[in-house]
């Protein structure tokens, strides 16, 4: 059960509440949401099962899993290194966002949104992230907290954290959603998420929908393979995977309905980008505070507490991959491994944080270091890693071994009936879809 909570914590996090709303806003609202739902159920969930199967079958970290199941094949060992590099790369800028969220939680608690004008609050974010030291301090504090949880292990650290935070996330988002949809003009935002405009669909919409689904479920990052290696041989991995995917999907949609109606009520552009929740939402709280200061304070604290918790559940899973690798490869104990990962991700995160200030002029292809890390990880590395896993499960692993993992040697009769469909999706549908998306990201 500890591992199931850990996998759910990995999936349900910052990708849902920070990334999903602004991606929806940039790619057509309800039409994007429909594609996202289909992508999650038909492609991402089977890939999730494939990653858990590889992890449990190998009983080792993401680095060694493919190599252990296919000894002597150097290419799978190389892919193992990729599944370690990706989560650490993402953790380096995730922790920067986590630091932002901690800073804004403190601002909410100290009533900063009530003591300034709406225009001042809107400009607050740009001033904050462009400074040299304050974002760095919060980045390091946030990353240190995540590494401390991982140092406690899956049972003592991650399980306890996930058991507390996952229910809290759902409750907090529901509270914010109820308030958001009651704002004047919020109905436009609700319609934006419920009434699809299919004329806005492009190949890029499909690419970003599946990409967001992968990002949100932590696929291709090595997290699910790592947690899969801890899953009990008695666990129904198909049911666990389906439960995690559906919970993640539900949370993302709830997050969309919690944020988008408020954005439209304030007259803010839904496609405002990654800074949406840090620029527009405080503006809303300030406006609200002019009439209902107490309500504004409570809701703003709850909102940014949700962001902090979501960021931690995601970042903890990313750090876990690196710590598990150090243990499996070099027998480095968790506390020491967590310290090493803290230093590596902390240093890379410094570069990401400074890319909005002193290093803002340092760009590659028009992208600052932060944006470059996010784009390269999301649009290149995740797809490559996920493609490797589904090809491995579909063409390298014996079908009998996959069947054994998914059905627990035939013990779960429903899984037996669904196996052929699942195996077809893993072997044929997922690789083709991933290839098309990879190409689309470069053409459009």
Q: Tokens 């967001």 — which residue?
A: 212
- Residue 107 pLDDT: 95
In angstroms, the first-to-last Cα distance of the chain is 43
Look up residue 100 and give its two tokens: 């932002």
Enter the DSSP assignment of 111: T
In the prediction, which pLDDT does 154 show?
Answer: 59
- Tell me the pTM: 0.90
Query: What's the rounded Cα separation, in Å, for the pair 229 and 5?
Result: 14
Q: Which domain holds residue 173?
A: 2-443
**CA 370 to CA 96: how far, in whole Å?**
9
Which of 143-152, 154-163, 337-346 is predicted most confidently? 337-346
Q: What was the pLDDT predicted at 148?
A: 93
pLDDT, residue 353, reads 96
pLDDT surpasses 70 at 379: yes
CATH code, domain carrying 245: 1.20.1740
Q: What is the pLDDT of residue 265?
A: 82
- Residue 7: band (very low, low, confident or very high) from pLDDT cuts 50, 70, 90: low
pLDDT of residue 311: 87
Number of domains in the chain: 1
3-state secondary structure 280-316: HHHHHHHHHHCCCHHHHHHHHHHHHHHHHHHHHHHHH
SS3 361: coil
Q: What is the pLDDT of residue 419?
A: 98
Q: Report in angstroms the alpha-carbon separations of 326 from 39, 85, 259, 320, 370.
A: 34, 12, 39, 10, 26
Is the pLDDT assigned to residue 400 strictly greater than 90?
yes
Whether 71 shows a pLDDT value over 90: the answer reads no
Answer yes or no: are the C-beta atoms of 21 and 256 closer than 8 Å.
yes
Lowest mean pLDDT across 19-23, 261-265, 341-345 = 261-265
Compare 12 and 66 and report the one with higher pLDDT: 66
- Taking each helix axis as running N to C, give the angle between helix 62-69 and helix 45-58, from 0 to 180 degrees, rounded to the nearest 10: 80
């Amino acid at each position: 059960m500890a591992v199931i909570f850990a996998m759910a914590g990995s999936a349900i996090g910052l990708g849902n509440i920070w990334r999903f709303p602004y991606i929806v806003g940039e790619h057509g609202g309800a039409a994007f949401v429909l594609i996202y739902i289909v992508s999650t159920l038909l492609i991402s969930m089977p890939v999730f099962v494939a990653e858990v199967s590889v992890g449990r079958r190998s009983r080792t970290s993401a680095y060694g899993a493919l190599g252990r199941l296919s000894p002597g094949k150097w290419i799978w060992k190389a892919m193992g290194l990729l599944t370690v590099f990706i989560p650490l790369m993402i953790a380096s800028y995730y922790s920067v966002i986590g630091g932002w969220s901690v800073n804004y939680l403190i601002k909410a608690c100290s009533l900063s949104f009530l003591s300034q004008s709406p225009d001042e609050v809107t400009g607050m974010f740009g001033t904050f992230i462009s400074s040299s030291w304050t974002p760095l301090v919060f980045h390091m504090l946030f990353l240190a907290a995540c590494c401390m949880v991982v140092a406690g292990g899956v049972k003592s650290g991650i399980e306890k954290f996930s058991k507390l935070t996952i229910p809290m996330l759902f409750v907090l988002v529901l509270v914010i959603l109820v308030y958001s949809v009651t704002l004047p003009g919020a109905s436009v935002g609700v319609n934006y998420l419920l009434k699809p405009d299919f004329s806005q669909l492009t190949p890029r919409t499909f690419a970003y929908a599946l990409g967001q689904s992968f990002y949100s479920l932590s696929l291709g990052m090595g997290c699910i393979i790592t947690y899969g290696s801890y899953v009990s041989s008695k666990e129904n991995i198909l049911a666990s995977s389906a439960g995690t995917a559906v919970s993640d999907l539900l949370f993302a949609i709830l997050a969309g309905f919690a944020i988008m109606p408020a954005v439209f009520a304030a007259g803010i552009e839904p496609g405002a980008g990654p800074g949406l929740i840090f620029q527009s939402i405080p503006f809303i709280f300030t406006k609200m505070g002019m009439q209902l200061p107490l309500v504004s304070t409570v809701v703003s604290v709850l909102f940014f507490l949700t962001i902090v918790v979501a960021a931690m559940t995601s970042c903890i899973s990313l750090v876990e991959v690196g710590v598990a690798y150090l243990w499996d490869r070099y027998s480095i104990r968790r506390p020491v491994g967590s310290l090493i990962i803290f230093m590596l991700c902390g240093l890379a995160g410094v570069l990401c944080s400074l890319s909005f200030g002193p290093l803002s002029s340092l760009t590659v292809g028009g992208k600052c270091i932060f944006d470059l890390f996010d784009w390269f990880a999301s649009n290149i590395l995740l797809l490559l890693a996920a493609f490797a896993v589904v090809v491995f499960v579909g063409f390298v692993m014996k079908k009998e071994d996959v069947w054994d993992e998914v059905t627990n040697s035939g013990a779960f009769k429903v899984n037996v009936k669904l196996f052929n469909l699942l195996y077809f999706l893993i072997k044929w549908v997922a690789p083709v879809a991933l290839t098309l998306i990879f190409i689309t990201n470069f053409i459009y």
